[in-house]
A and B are shown apart, each in its own frame.
Chain A
């Protein structure tokens, strides 16, 4: 085990998979000569050359579609979006082409491609650069959606995503690139897609959190422990396929659940998890499921307003206390 940042863990995963398989290549805006807008691809151009680490023009629809086409005939592209806000331009190719190709070709054309990059809020980058896109992509059958919250998960899940034969939307978080953690250095270390992780065990309430909200939920759980409330923090890690079984088992144990997410609440992933809990474990619930979500507004620029728009430790504590009927 080595301690490294999320950025370094992602870089290591890319390097190992580029070494492992000639068919893997990385493309995107500024990934090569500039070493990545967030330096995730640092050193890769030097090591693998410009055939396999490719700077693209700013042409998201074009290079996303090019990647899907290359995947149709056996390559395994990793396409970086500088941020997932820009992937909105490429949704035609992701949704209409990548997600449906296998099905509408009657099983003939697999699309082994990874679309990756930062998702969600950053630091005062305002409305068009702060969106959490997971509910968009998770809506569509045919794609997988991954959201790591630790450096180890980031590495293990990215390696699995690159080896996967389906299109994978791999959502990183800009605020988390510098987060540190222990990461296995074994080249065969992978984490299967679709398996949730219990980040902290507890018995009184379940907090389902993903990506940026995982460290926030863990801090809230620490604080709540001091207040006599034992929280279990479940990180689904993959949104589609969703490991609902692990979530349901936790809910059956704690009987109370808070879903924490950075994204908007309306038609969000939290709403889906809530619906599935209600369908599957209604009789086990001692309180209504509570969602803690990003504010239902475009992201503001002003520092104080931005802070108010993203759930923090206090809002999660408040929600847990609410489902535990402590206040």
Chain B
């Protein structure tokens, strides 16, 4: 039985609850349309309960971050079509709750690595929109000095370690970063994000094996957006329940609703606790959906408008906004203010990127070796 598109709510993750360290999975329900509506309502209720556990400032910051990513990516699409951004450009629209929820659960000194779909993670980790946009524009003021581009954002000042463009390549790297934290005796944890297609790579399996074997505090976050480029999960994976793959390595794991930013935050917080206190890894399967194509050059013929619209009903920003309003935390005025702030920040970023100089031609030959 394969899992349906609608995820079950997040489950508790306590490694002590299971002798294998793997959290038992609840039965996945199949749903018809009426059930689906009921389920959505249940999920909204869950989110509202979670809201009560956080202060207003944190909640509004998270909303601000989600909207920032959304508008930033929309600006990227616009700049890409104007030819200001080149190469491959993968947008994060639809998946905002994953980066925002996850990073809300860590400290500034914790490490983050991700794939080529990296704009959102960089922004939330603390790289300024100016520097991210300048990088996309190939400018000297970009966060990777114009040498990385969209797929290789890096910012050592906020422990954002990239931006990696070989599917799954960042997974062993992150395992090594977390290994180093344990080696040095710090209590930092490392979050690594990857799509579900990366789960079929050897790099994923080799990393999980070492992480549990050596008790490495790395948190593996699979952003299951259900398509590896144009190939659906069903066409690419024999066992489609990603979270279950943790069983093979005795890792703790959870399945999380990636459209619920607070569910993501909670699950990651549990994983962080497991990492910091017990130096143990966790695998999280966060079910999400990208509303745009794989990259800017993807016409998206492999899925129907109806399918996309079905997922857009559970747009993570809409869902969170509605919950915050119902709880009386967010007013229309405050939302308009956030939109205005974000709009200004994104416009500023585009202007900054536009006006920044290109890298000096001399830079072609720098940074190949450390002590040039």
Contacts and interface: CB of A to CB of B under 8 A. Distances in A.
A binds B: yes
Contacts of B147: 103-106
B145 A107 contact: yes
Nearest to B207: A62
Contact of B175 (A69, A96, A108, A144): A69
B371 interface: yes
B198 to A, nearest CB: 12
B154 A108 contact: yes
Interface stretch (A72-80, A225-233, A272-280, A305-313): A72-80
A63 B210 CA distance: 8
A106 B176 contact: no
A49 interface: no
Contacts of A70: 176-177, 179-180, 183
Given A106-B148, A106-B154, A109-B154, A68 B176 contact: yes
Contact of A62 (B142, B148, B175): B175
B370 A72 contact: no
Contacts, number: 145
A184 interface: no
Interface in B128-176: 142-148, 152, 154-156, 161-164, 166, 169, 171-176
Contact of B172 (A64, A105, A166): A64
Contacts of B210: 56-57, 59, 62-63, 66
B338 interface: no
A238 to B, nearest CB: 12
A89 B368 CA distance: 24
Contacts of A56: 210
Nearest to A113: B176
A25 B154 CA distance: 26
17 contacts: A61-B202, A61-B203, A62-B172, A62-B202, A62-B203, A66-B176, A67-B176, A68-B172, A69-B113, A69-B176, A69-B179, A71-B176, A72-B176, A92-B166, A107-B367, A142-B368, A165-B371
Interface of A: 25, 51, 56-57, 59, 61-75, 77, 92-93, 96-97, 101-110, 112, 141-142, 144, 164-166
Interface of B: 111, 113, 142-148, 152, 154-156, 161-164, 166, 169, 171-181, 183-184, 202-203, 206-207, 209-210, 213, 366-371
